[in-house]
Amino acid sequence: MRSAKILCVVGVMVVAIAAHMLAARATNLSSQPGVSVQVGPNDIGGVVASGKGPQAGVWVIAETTDLPTRYIKEVVTDDRGRYLIPDLPKAKYTVWARGYGLVDSPKVQAEPGKLVDLKPEVAPDAKSAAQYYPANYWYALLEVPATNEFPGTGAAGNGISPSVRAQGEWIHLVKTDSCESCHQLGNQYTRTIPSMFSDLDPAQAWTRRVQSGQAGAIMTGGLAQLGTQRAAALFGDWTTRIAKDELPADTPPRPQGAERNVVITQWDWADPKAYLHDEISTDKRNPRVNANGLIYGSPEESRDYLPVLDPVHSSITQVKTQYRDPDTPGQPKPLKPSAVWGDEAIWDSHTTVHNPMFDERGRLWFTARIRAGDDPAFCKAGSDLISAKLTPLTRSGRQLEMYDPATKKIEVIDTCFGTHHLQFASDANNTLWTSSGGGGGVVGWLNTKMWDQTHDVAKSQGWTALVLDTNGNGKRDAYAEGEQNVATTPGGESLGAASAMNAAADPTKDTRLNAAFYGIGVGADGIIWGTVLGFPGGIVRLNPGPNPPETALAEYYEVPWNDPKAPVWGFSPRGMDLDTNGVVWLALASGHLASFDRRKCKGPLNGPQATGRQCPEGWTLYQTPGPKFKNVTISGSADSHYYVWVDQFDTLGLGKNTPIVTGNSSDSLLALVNGKFVILRVPYPLGFFAKGMDGRFDDPNAGWRGKGVWTTWGTRTPFHSETGKGTMPKVVHFQIRPDPLAH
């Protein structure tokens, strides 16, 4: 009798458990007939379908303000319209769908563990659909002057600046080396005229709008580089045609293949009046450093603090930066009132923090202005410092600081050379190499081991001129100054060598390359590489030798432009990185991701003719996706590319040594995989604009969930984004899972 009762109880329990399991399974299945989505307790999933059926390659966005800082997670639907947003912190979310050819679905309130089917509508017309297109599809409507209008003939002629010698040179100025070095063009804010300027004719409206705010002087200078008269007229014509309903000629494709496996997470950080330039999550030489740790950013001109994100708890803090001298320059007042902020000065930085880097101990090194421009005596002529004896320096715009999270202390480090981008070498001294960005004609470094041991700032640093071995004897000798046309951007960055030198200045001597590094990379072999901005621009290989101030030798390689030996022409590099094979990858303003492999060079790499064009065979150019500008026939896209980072360790999941270039006009990162681009697009808010990035392993045993690539919104104008005034800068985490429904 007792056993019968036990059996009865057990039977009831089994039935109850089975019923519970069936009920649980029922809650984990989409309501769409024949389509199932398994949803865990930390996921939201379902199906996206319009009146025409399930929608493949559509983004689903979940956003919440319930956490300590705003949190957004975005995924893509599979070929049956199914989606799964995994690993959501407990909160209430607003969820909706967005896709090309559609109008956003109604927003639905949901919590993790729920199924949410979304119902966007097919866009009723082309104009409605185009509102969701990336900025480059709209910016491509800008009409570029024809090739036969160059060189410009000035205000009395065709209105193009006489210093602009070719159509490509004009393009590089309306992209990453002037107009788009700080923010997107082609987004809704820039392709329309604010009401504040609507009483002016279109050209006058553009002349006035670029005078707005604290960057007004820089933007006005950028317009002048093009030729204010003609450039204002062309920009005015562009916005006028758009106001009259001219639409992009091309339609962006929906995500395909691996693009549907992306998981994008965003967090607000900093403040609504700040902007970010870079972030750092780990030591780029070892992406296991700082696992699950804090992310640090650089707000450049806007703030004297480092924004800090704790991605585990979705919380943000700040670390105050320091400047040593009271006369350290600050920010200018607005040139003229802006349509967003009026005459309010929203930037207040003295330190202009730029490009932070982690070392192997988890300490943070970054470029910062700690004083006025005049260098200390040990940098100048008469100093006993070997670098100063050979190449005395009188001024520098930024120096260095180091923050130790363990002690919460910052140390300021005075440098004779200007600092801009940083890279650590994998040598015994953990040498920190710097680009100068703003000129100076030298490359500098800090021996961080020596600094830690002595805190002797003079003894710990050094720099060298860029000397080409143009007499061809294989060593560095007395050199002549190279005759090159070196210009600067309106913001003061060196545009470097305008073109390759025709020949060495003195065939019996070596020749100094009158240029400066912008991007910088350090190879495993100890060779330093850097980009030289300008048109057509190029790259420099620097072999430090045993005593760099005296022995460093440089090689200069110009980007192939107007070169009959080169199958594809490009121009104007900006950011760069190296893969583990020593191949250089760089972003070009011509609308390319380029690589340079010195191992392919056939001719002599030194001697009197080795002044830039000695290795066209080393270059390979990959045209990036998207449309071209109006009236442009040369290869390349209208997208703007600021920086390149090579995923040497496969932290994203697309393979080791994957080069990733920023798509600054296409709301994306572009990863080159087997010769084809994988577009990692941020669908919301529209206006994503990255600069630096890095990848980190948080848990090597957790598969895709334990790794990813980190970046930040690098735009100076977050208020230009879809969400407008009050938008905060964001940290962005990219991950690639095995399929669109992977937990």
The Cα 433–Cα 417 span in angstroms is 11
Categorize the per-residue pLDDT at 227 as very low, low, confident or very high, splitting at 50, 70 and 90: very high
Domain boundary among 193, 210, 243: 243
Would 252 be classed as within a structural domain? no
- pLDDT for 602-614, tens place per residue? 989 999 989 999 9
148 and 37, same structural domain?
Answer: no
User: How does DSSP assign 704-738, residue by residue?
Assistant: GGGEEEEEEE--S-GGGSTT-TTPPPEEEEEEE-S
- CATH, residue 344: 2.130.10.10
The Cα 576–Cα 537 span in angstroms is 13
641 and 684, same structural domain?
Answer: yes
pLDDT at residue 413 above 60? yes
pLDDT at residue 206 above 50? yes
- Cα distances from 10 to residues 21, 72, 150, in angstroms, run 16, 46, 89
368 and 226, same structural domain?
Answer: no
pLDDT at residue 15 above 50? no
- pLDDT for 680-694, tens place per residue? 999 999 999 999 999
The Cα 410–Cα 424 span in angstroms is 19
Contact 115/46 with Cβ under 8 angstroms? Answer: yes
pLDDT at residue 485 above 70? no
297 and 167, same structural domain?
Answer: no
- pLDDT for 575-600, tens place per residue? 999 999 999 999 999 999 999 999 99
709 and 681, same structural domain?
Answer: yes
343 and 227, same structural domain?
Answer: no
What's the pLDDT score for residue 503?
A: 61
Report strand pairing: 510-512 vs 479-481: parallel
What's the pLDDT score for residue 431?
A: 98
What's the predicted TM-score (pTM) here? 0.94
**Residue 194: how many CB atoms within 10 A of its CB?**
15
What's the pLDDT score for residue 498?
A: 38
What's the pLDDT score for residue 482?
A: 74
- Domain holding 430, by residue range, is 257-736
Is the alpha carbon torsion for 266, 269, 271, 277 positive or negative?
negative
169 and 76, same structural domain?
Answer: no
Alpha-carbon Rg for the chain in angstroms: 27
What's the pLDDT score for residue 158?
A: 97
Q: Which residues pair with 82 in a beta bridge?
A: 47
Whole-number average pLDDT of the chain? 92
Q: In a 3-state reduction of DSSP, which class is residue 535?
A: coil
Would 249 be classed as within a structural domain? no
pLDDT at residue 9 above 80? no
Checking 342-347 for CB contacts under 8 A at 24+ apart, the result is: 345/214, 346/213, 346/214, 346/273, 346/302, 347/214, 347/273, 347/301, 347/302, 347/303
- pLDDT for 265-282, tens place per residue? 999 999 999 999 999 999
Contact 300/183 with Cβ under 8 angstroms? Answer: no
Would 496 be classed as within a structural domain? yes
Total domain count for the chain?
3
153 and 294, same structural domain?
Answer: no
Contact 510/439 with Cβ under 8 angstroms? Answer: no
pLDDT at residue 73 above 60? yes
- pLDDT for 137-175, tens place per residue? 999 999 999 999 999 999 999 999 999 999 999 999 999
> Alpha helix locations (H) across 227-325?
228-243
What's the pLDDT score for residue 35?
A: 65
Domain boundary among 130, 145, 180: 130
What's the pLDDT score for residue 688?
A: 98
Q: Is the peptide bond before 376 cis (omega within 30 degrees of 0)?
A: no
Domain boundary among 188, 219, 243: 243
Categorize the per-residue pLDDT at 562 as very low, low, confident or very high, splitting at 50, 70 and 90: confident
Would 250 be classed as within a structural domain? no
Categorize the per-residue pLDDT at 486 as very low, low, confident or very high, splitting at 50, 70 and 90: very low
What's the pLDDT score for residue 643?
A: 97
343 and 204, same structural domain?
Answer: no
- pLDDT for 417-476, tens place per residue? 999 999 999 999 999 999 987 567 899 999 999 999 999 999 999 999 999 999 999 999
Instruction: Determine what percent of the chain is predicted with pLDDT higher than 90.
Output: 88
Would 7 be classed as within a structural domain? no
403 and 456, same structural domain?
Answer: yes
Counting Cβ atoms within 10 Å, is residue 578 exposed (0-12), middle (13-18) or buried (19+)?
Answer: buried
What's the pLDDT score for residue 36?
A: 84
